[in-house]
């Protein structure tokens, strides 16, 4: 597809990198020449320095033949304006990043009246992801397929788990759980496991299952963590507001520590069910006095990465809480990844991921049959959801008789809403959606999984 990306910040850069790898023709637009130059020097894309809301700039970028314009500048209003002008010129699909909570209740009106195909709110999307992980505390990561009916969940195998020294082929008979282990991370290695693969303590495993079966699995496997009833959040920004409202709906008690008195007064009105503390969390003994030792989940969500890192390290030392650390700059991600910071939260990467999913859905309507794609374990593994058309060469053939590429697993079949965790006797039918987990890159058609 021909795609124009307005805004060359971290989100724009991530989008360019991913979409360029997938073979799209990309033009980037930004009014900062250094940002445009930085991207065009390292990736095979065109760059234009200028205002993305300018009629002439968009013409120069090729808007008349573009399939999609994505506006991810730092200004909501500029993003909306870019999309409106693009619609007037070419009628292409448009995506706008809109962050201001004041627009949240008006987002349907904005999309409908201004012709925007999709809006993305980084803080709201991130809060939704965090709330899911707090409500299922044993999970490290959750991704969704089949319109939410199927979950891909990542767990840590504890020392006392029944999974230790168990072969994957024995999971079903011993635990009577309808799940499939599709990936195992062990030290620096990533495995797409066969039935003979033996799990070990301290492995990080990813399973595919329905939500109900996932809960059943973690209970039987001994990796279920007690339900979280209280949460401590540091920083009173927009992300905190969204997350607190979601947690309050689940009857979870929330304590918010915010340094600004004026913001605390605003939060008291916005979050009547939360306890709002006006304090500097980095001051000695503040977290101890506010109950860090007893909190079950802790999230450091200030605007300063270094402060978030230090606070999370302290919380890890002083409590048994599930830790979340917001990090916006991933310059030192290799170092940060080795620290006990719990789950790393990056709203910019969440935004890029949601936009990429929309782009792939557009491709599906144009001939590709990839409906959903997730990049996992630093892009070493892909989890793809394919829609099965009548040209698929594997229709009706038992999975055990298919000659599949190595390091590839057929993980789930969604047949008209019925979720099938497949074995060798199961087969694929027209109209199914099929989840594939693999280390092979560049799969764009279900036939690509065959040798």
So what's the pLDDT on residue 17? 87
Which residues are within 8 A (CB) of 126 and not within 5 positions of it... i.e. 6 or more apart?
239, 242, 345, 347, 350
Residue 343 gets which letter from DSSP?
A: E
Residue 168 gets which letter from DSSP?
A: G
Q: For 47-147, where are the alpha helices, taking DSSP H only? A: 55-61, 76-90, 107-114, 122-135
So what's the pLDDT on residue 193? 94
Stated length of the chain: 451
Nearest to 131 by CA among 245, 255, 243: 243
Tokens standing for residue 21: 């790898």
Angle between helices 238-249 and 122-135 (to 10 degrees): 40
So what's the pLDDT on residue 380? 87
So what's the pLDDT on residue 4? 97
Domain 142-220 part of CATH 3.40.830.10: no
Q: 392-425, pLDDT tens digit by residue?
A: 899 999 999 999 999 999 999 999 989 999 989 9
So what's the pLDDT on residue 450? 93
Q: What does each C-alpha distance from 395 to 130, 259, 307, 388 come to in angstroms?
A: 38, 60, 54, 8
So what's the pLDDT on residue 61? 95
**Residue numbers in the chain where pLDDT is lower than 50:** none
CATH architecture of the region 2-120: 3-Layer(aba) Sandwich (3.40)
H or E element: which one contains 95? strand 93-97
Give the side-chain half-sphere CA count within 13 A for 346.
17
So what's the pLDDT on residue 406? 94
H or E element: which one contains 298? strand 297-300
Quickly name the fold that domain 230-345 has: Rossmann fold (3.40.50)
So what's the pLDDT on residue 333? 67
pTM of this prediction?
Answer: 0.85
- Identify the three-state secondary structure at position 382: strand
Instruction: Provide the residue ranges of all domains of the chain, joining segments of one domain with +.
Output: 2-120, 142-220, 230-345, 369-449
So what's the pLDDT on residue 20? 87
Quickly name the fold that domain 369-449 has: Alpha-Beta Plaits (3.30.70)
Question: Within its chain, how far is the Cα of 284 from the centroid?
Answer: 34
User: Do the two domains 2-120 and 230-345 of this chain adopt the same fold?
Assistant: yes
So what's the pLDDT on residue 331? 66
So what's the pLDDT on residue 368? 57
């Amino acid at each position: 597809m021909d795609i124009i990306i307005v805004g060359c910040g971290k989100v724009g850069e991530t989008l360019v990198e991913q979409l360029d790898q997938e073979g799209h023709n990309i033009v980037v637009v930004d009014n900062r020449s250094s940002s445009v130059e930085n991207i065009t020097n390292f990736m095979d894309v065109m760059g234009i320095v200028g205002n993305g809301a300018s009629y002439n700039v968009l013409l120069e970028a090729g808007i008349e033949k573009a399939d999609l314009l994505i506006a991810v500048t730092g200004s909501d209003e500029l993003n909306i304006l870019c999309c409106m002008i693009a619609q007037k010129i070419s009628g292409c699909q448009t995506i706008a990043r809109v962050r201001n909570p004041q627009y949240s209740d008006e987002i349907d009106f904005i999309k409908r009246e201004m012709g925007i195909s999709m809006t993305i709110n980084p803080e709201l999307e991130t809060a939704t992801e965090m709330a899911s992980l707090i409500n299922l505390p044993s999970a490290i990561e959750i991704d969704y397929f089949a319109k939410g009916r199927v979950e891909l969940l990542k767990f840590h195998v504890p020392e006392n788990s029944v999974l230790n020294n168990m072969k994957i082929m024995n999971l079903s008979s011993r635990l009577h759980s309808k799940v499939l282990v599709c990936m195992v991370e062990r030290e620096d290695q990533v495995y797409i496991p066969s039935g003979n693969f033996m799990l070990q303590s301290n492995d990080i495993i990813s399973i595919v299952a329905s939500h109900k079966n996932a809960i059943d699995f973690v209970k039987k496997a001994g990796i279920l963590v007690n339900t979280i009833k209280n949460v401590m959040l540091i920083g009173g920004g927009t992300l905190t507001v969204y997350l607190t409202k979601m947690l309050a709906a689940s009857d979870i008690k929330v304590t918010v520590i915010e340094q600004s008195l004026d913001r605390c007064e605003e939060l008291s009105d916005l979050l009547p069910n939360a306890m709002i503390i006006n304090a500097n969390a980095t001051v000695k003994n503040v977290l101890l006095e506010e109950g860090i030792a007893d909190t079950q989940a802790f999230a450091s969500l200030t605007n300063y990465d270094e402060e978030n890192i230090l606070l999370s390290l302290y919380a890890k030392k002083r409590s048994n809480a599930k830790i979340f650390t917001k990090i916006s700059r991933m310059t030192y991600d290799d170092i940060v990844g080795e620290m006990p910071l719990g789950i790393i939260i990056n709203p910019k990467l969440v935004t890029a991921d949601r936009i990429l999913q929309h782009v792939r859905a557009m491709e599906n309507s144009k001939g590709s049959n990839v409906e959903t794609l997730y990049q996992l374990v630093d892009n070493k593994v892909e989890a793809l959801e394919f829609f099965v058309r009548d040209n698929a060469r594997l229709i009706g053939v038992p999975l055990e008789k298919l000659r599949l590429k190595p390091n590839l697993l057929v993980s789930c079949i969604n047949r008209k809403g019925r979720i099938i965790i497949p074995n060798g006797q199961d087969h694929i039918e027209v109209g199914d959606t099929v989840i594939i987990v693999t280390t092979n890159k560049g799969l764009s058609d279900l036939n690509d999984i065959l040798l």
